[in-house]
Structures are given as structure tokens and as C-alpha cells.
Structure 1
């Protein structure tokens, strides 16, 4: 009985293995007797998944239909002898070359990953460059922009009498980008403003309004400094994907340069 049971179990296990193998090798479709292999569909699904699309039965159904259409068209092309045309032979060689080159690059990236240490080093370098370009502080300011100096002086007089800065900005300012927000310019480095503006802004204390109108190419500004803080650049996690892409690009560029240097090109 025990031997019989073992034999029966082995038959069941074998049947299950064969069924699984058959399921894996079952074609996507058979078109005029030509099987479209499952691995071809899986390859396309993998490609679109890497591009951000989600695998789903609907996606797979659309891919299957497209593969059937392409198979039908390809069969007709072969019937007409188009696969033997010189241009088609060249095109197929080009596609093969591109596919091999892409596979080589992908394999190199897998075997030469960019480390977090390298990414953080690049991040620190980026922050230092930002600091040098924009300074180590950023300012939260408001302004009221008018055309004439006399009008600016009148607004300053109203401010001294207790009128609210944001109310006057909404009423008087000609800057459409900040007017509706009470003249609020948000947080920015001095380099983001014209020199006449930034030179005055950086000398103000928190909450202070410049005592005289500031003239620039845009007109006359009345500036109020709300606050000052250390530069708040993007976090490492925010820029990590971009840094990785940048370093990978440099890595592949060096690889290609090395291959060119070793190659004999006539």
C-alpha cells in the first residue's frame, strides 16, 4: 500500500509539473498556425513597467491584440517577399545593433551601481554650488511697485500712519505676480532680484520697511522684509533620482570614451 501511494503521489507531482510547464510555454496566440511565444509578451510588459506603467489584465489584453495585428501584417509582408528587400535587411541589422547596445548598457549599470556614498558626495557638491551662486541666506520679502516716486512716497506716508502693507499692495501695486498676495514675493535668494532691490533688502531688519523708495528698471519699490533664514535647498531624497541619472550618464559617457580610445576605427 505504501509503495502504491508513493507511486500515485509521484504521478500527481509529475502531472502538476508538466501542467505548470505547459502553462509557462503556452503561446499568447496562434495566428495562421504561427505561435506568438509568451516570453515576447512578458518582455513588452517588462519594458512598459520600467517606463512607469502598471501591469494589468487590460494592458496585457491590448498588448496581445497588438501582437496579433503585427503578426498578421508580418506574415503578409513575408508572402510579398518584403523580408528579402535590401532596405529591410539593413533595418533589421540596425534594430539588432541598437538592441545589443542597449543590453550592454543595461548590464553595465547593473554590475556598476551608483552607491549612496557617491550620490551624497554629489549632493554636497550641488549644495555648495548653490551656496556660491545664491549665498547662504534667503529672504522672505514683500513689495509695492508703482510708476512714480511721488506715489511711492505717499504710500510710505500711509504706512507710517498705520495702514497695512498687504492692503496697500493689493490696492496700489502694479506687479501682477505679487499684488493679489499682498505683495508677497515668498522665499528667494538675493540673486533672484535686480541689484537695486536686493542691495536694499539684505540691509533691512526683520519686519522693517525701507524708508525711501527704491528705483529700478521696473519702477519704484517699497520693500518690507518679513524674515531671513539659511538656504533651504531640496533634500537628498528629493534630488536623489536626478543625481543618480546624472552620475549614470557621466558613468556611461566615460565607458564609451574608454571603448573609443581602445578601438581601432578606420
Structure 2
């Protein structure tokens, strides 16, 4: 039964991240009408909901926006009526989509993540800053199978027959070979300590700190391969302003809160359900 939990958790997260599709429902007898298509009224409330959604996504309220939304709703009603004429309301794909929309709405109404406090966002920011060191490094790396190949690459560098990036494309066994062995900017506290090097292997971090920009390391043995490392650039670490990143951090913490709420909700569903496999 345990494998069901991750699948349902993913379903809940997806549903909560996706706007629900409004279900067709009859309008109240005296509800305001946006327009009529073949005598069928489109309620004004549907337009109001569409306008609110558009504005929430950053659109500016304007006559053009309102006209476009109205035309879209009219077109949707035309399409819906034509689909009904062809009895597509009983089509398996339509029924499946309707079930999916119903499930999605159910999940949105029942999974309630805990709100993220400003203090939690600030604490997360401070924790990230402590993982940085005084210097940022940008490097390239080549991985080869043995010392003989490493000497071949080193000799080519010394002879000037090719630059480091070209040799990485030609010889490196790593996935970033086609990017010339390029690594992202990284920073870590000094001296480098295992587990505190931004997932960079400790021997690589130790090697970087001993290089000057433009220089290449000697062979570095690691996990059965031989590595050559070039330090391209070093600079003082750029610490981001809290106000510039707090929205992104909040989103990450909200996603984590959603995962926790999802796990709790899914566990309850599973425990109450009779599941036969």
C-alpha cells in the first residue's frame, strides 16, 4: 500500500497548483446575463470570475480585456452547444476530464497548508547565507579514465594545441562535456569541510581554493577517475538582498508546507479506504 501514498501526494500537489475548471451550473432565475447563445444565458458571474482570474495573473483591466473575455465565453458556449448536439457529454474522455475536475476541486477544498510566517522566511534566508564563503568560484572540469589520459590532456594544454573547454568537449566523461566542462558559480565556507561545499566533492573544493584564475590543477583522483580542474574566475561572494529573494524563498517554504499537508491528508484517505490489489 505504501507506493500509493507518493502517487496520491503528487496528485494533490498538482491539483492544488492548477486553477480549477469552473463547472457548468444553471444560473439563478434572475441572475444578470452577459449574453445569450441560441437562447441559453451566459451568467454575468462567469465573466466576473474570468476577469478576476485574468487580473490575478497580472492582466490590466481594460475595455480590450473585457471584450476579449466576453468573446471567449461566447465562443465557449457555442462550442459547448455543438458538443452536446454530437452527444460528446457521454464521451469517455469528457467523462474522465469531468472526474478530474471534480477531484481537483475536492482537493483544493480539503488540503490546507499551514501559512508561512515572515520569521520562517527570514530564518531560511539566514540559513542559506551561512552556507556561503567569502569567495565565489567559476571553474571548468575534465574527467578521464586514467592517469595516462590525464597526461595526454595536460600535454595538449601545455603545448597550446587546444584550450581547456575544447579539451573537455573532446575528452571529458562528464555530462557537462559539451559545455566545455563548465560548472556553475559556487561558494562555500573556508577552509572547505565535508558536507559544506555546496555538493561539490571535497577534493575539488580544496583544489579550487589553491588555484589562481586561469590556472589548471594537477590530476585529482576521485571515485575511480582522474580530474583536471581549471579556475576561470574568482570574485567576492555576492550576497543577495533579502527583499529581492524573499518572495522566492516564501514560495519554496509554501511548497514544503503543501507537501506536509498533502502527506497528512493522503494518509487519512488511505487509512479510511478499502483498497484491494
Q: Equivalent of 1:200, from 196, 210, 213? A: 210
**Is the alpha carbon distance of 1:147 and 1:32 closer, same or farther for their aligned partners in structure 2, counting shifts above 3 Å?**
same
1:29 aligns with 2:29: no
Separation of aligned partners in 1, 2:62 and 2:123 = 39
Q: Equivalent of 1:138, from 135, 139, 143? A: 135
Aligned residue runs from structure 1 range 1-266, under 5 A: 26-85=32-91, 87-105=93-111, 108=112, 112-128=114-130, 130-131=131-132, 136-138=133-135, 149=158, 174=163, 189=187, 198-201=208-211, 229=236, 231-263=237-269, 264-266=272-274
Question: TM-score, normalization: structure 2?
Answer: 0.53
Task: Give the superposition deviation at 1:118.
Answer: 0.7
Does the 8 Å contact 1:147/1:220 carry over to 2?
no
Task: Give the total of aligned pairs.
Answer: 195
Does the 8 Å contact 2:216/2:228 carry over to 1?
no
**Is the alpha carbon distance of 1:86 and 1:220 closer, same or farther for their aligned partners in structure 2, counting shifts above 3 Å?**
closer
Q: SS of the residue aligned with 2:41?
A: strand
Does the 8 Å contact 2:208/2:229 carry over to 1?
no
Gaps of 5+ in 1: 1-24, 152-172, 177-186
Does the 8 Å contact 1:140/1:228 carry over to 2?
yes
Does the 8 Å contact 1:28/1:35 carry over to 2?
yes
Q: SS of the residue aligned with 1:28?
A: strand
**Is the alpha carbon distance of 1:120 and 1:150 closer, same or farther for their aligned partners in structure 2, counting shifts above 3 Å?**
same
Task: Give the superposition deviation at 1:52.
Answer: 3.1
Separation of aligned partners in 1, 2:58 and 2:51 = 11
Separation of aligned partners in 2, 1:252 and 1:44 = 26
Query: Greater relative contact order (Cα 8 A, min sep 6): structure 1 or 2?
Result: 2
Q: SS of the residue aligned with 2:135?
A: strand
Gaps of 5+ in 2: 1-30, 139-154, 166-184, 189-196, 220-225
- Structure holding more helix per residue: 1
Does the 8 Å contact 1:140/1:188 carry over to 2?
yes
**Is the alpha carbon distance of 1:220 and 1:62 closer, same or farther for their aligned partners in structure 2, counting shifts above 3 Å?**
closer
Task: Give the superposition deviation at 1:174.
Answer: 5.0
1:160 aligns with none
Does the 8 Å contact 1:148/1:219 carry over to 2?
no
Q: How big is the alpha-carbon RMSD for the aligned residues of Structure 1 and Structure 2?
A: 4.4
Task: Give the superposition deviation at 1:236.
Answer: 1.6
